[in-house]
Amino acid sequence: MSHHGLIPPHGGTLVNLIADSVRRAALEAETKSAPRIKLPEREQCDLELLAVGAMSPLTGFVGEAEFHSICDSMRLASGLPWSVPITCSVDKATADKIDLGQPVVLTDDADRALAVLTVKEKYAHDKTKECEKVYRTTEEAHPGVAIVLSQGDVCLAGNLEVLTPRHDPEFVDYRLTPAQTRAAFTDKGWKTVVAFQTRNPIHRAHEYITKCALEIVDGLLIHPLVGQTQAGDIPADVRMHCYEILIENYYSAANTMLSVWPAAMRYAGPREAIIHALVRKNYGVTHFIVGRDHAGVGKYYGTYDAQEIFDEFEPGEIGITPLKFEHSFWCKKSGAMASAKTTNSKPEERVFLSGTKVREMLVSGERPPVEFTRAEVADLLIKSMKQ
């Protein structure tokens, strides 16, 4: 196996859609008067991931056959597992003005060019199917469904050439591409790496499961999602500071790495857990932590649905090893972190706080118990909530 002993990317080849400087200059000249499409935030995040190969084997936004194949069977037309369609949609009026074979410029909020899409397909965006299959609901109260319903009725697909993955990216020092994380793992001599996906500060329960996982591999990649989240989530810059302070004080520097994942959260539960795992393989990761209600929201998914969905694939098809964890807590009886698998303590001997309760404590300037969160993290969160 090539890749210096690292796991191969999904589909075998790491995609790179970024045009070189010569091609970029040519594209900019050719598309001066081309139609411009402003991408919504989720599509901007998807474009960056496509550009750097994080969504290998995809080489662009999906066409009609792939869209339906993904929705219906969680597979690409080639048979390779893929659970969420990555689309670029526009309203019908815009689509009608675009000819097949025509280049369109995809832009960010400030109308800055990100990529050139040479349109090969225009197809009806079957939103009902996408919501039913991917999100398992068509309720607008679901944040992922709300975004799909707000998208255009026509999807565009074709050759995608990226001018720049993103203008003014945040966390530049930590925004490593799959090629860069792979190089870093090779430098560190890590053959096996576990990734932890998070959109929250890391509390004791998360610290415990990441360390349990780290006991069986060479390295831990803490890979927080910093693209689009929802209102009420703790801001990414605050979370990043929490991760840094936690790693500095409580993890082995030689075995831990922090890098951001500039993705949008879809809150698609089980289907998103599959994508979260497949994408990490492109970053060179061999093991992936799947927690309780992974990528879920509200009461839309069962507690362990995101773990069970991995069983719908043949062994080896996914290629990255899911590590399925129970909910963990501080156990007063054993004087340690534990889970239902590892202790016989009674419910009242378990320190178990809801996110809402923790937030209330932090807002009122009160440190949650050290059994729940490290003091350094609590103090940082208290300070950020006062601002």
Backbone region of residue 5 per phi and psi (left: phi > 0; alpha: psi in -120 to 50; beta: other values)? left
Helix, strand, coil fractions of the chain, as percent rounded to 5? 35, 20, 45
Catalytic residue selected from 42, 166, 182, 199: 199
* pLDDT tens over the chain, length 387 residues: 344 589 999 999 999 999 999 999 999 999 999 999 999 999 999 999 999 999 999 999 999 999 999 999 999 999 999 999 999 999 999 999 999 999 999 999 999 999 999 999 999 999 999 999 999 999 999 999 999 999 999 999 999 999 999 999 999 999 999 999 999 999 999 999 999 999 889 999 999 999 999 999 999 999 999 987 776 778 899 999 999 999 999 999 999 999 999 999 999 999 999 999 999 999 999 999 998 899 999 999 999 999 999 999 998 999 999 999 998 999 999 999 999 999 999 999 999 887 778 889 999 999 999 999 999 999 999 999 887
pTM of full prediction above 0.75: yes
Q: Is 199 a catalytic residue?
A: yes
Last residue of a domain, one of 124, 141, 162: 162
User: What does the chain come to in residues?
Assistant: 387
* Domain identity same for 315 and 237: yes
| Residue 335 covered by a domain | yes
* Domain identity same for 245 and 115: no
* Domain identity same for 154 and 196: no
Catalytic residue selected from 24, 200, 292, 359: 200
Which strand ranges, in their side-by-side order, compose the sheet holding 287-290? 256-258, 219-224, 193-198, 287-290, 321-324
Where residue 358 sits, what CATH number does that domain have?
3.40.50.620
Domain ranges, residue 70: 3-162
> DSSP secondary-structure letter at 311?
G
Q: Is 249 a catalytic residue?
A: no
d(CA 120, CA 102): 8
What is the number of structural domains in the chain?
2
Residue burial 272-296, b: 16+ Cβ < 10 Å; e: rest: bbbbbbbbbbbbbbbbbbbbbbbbb
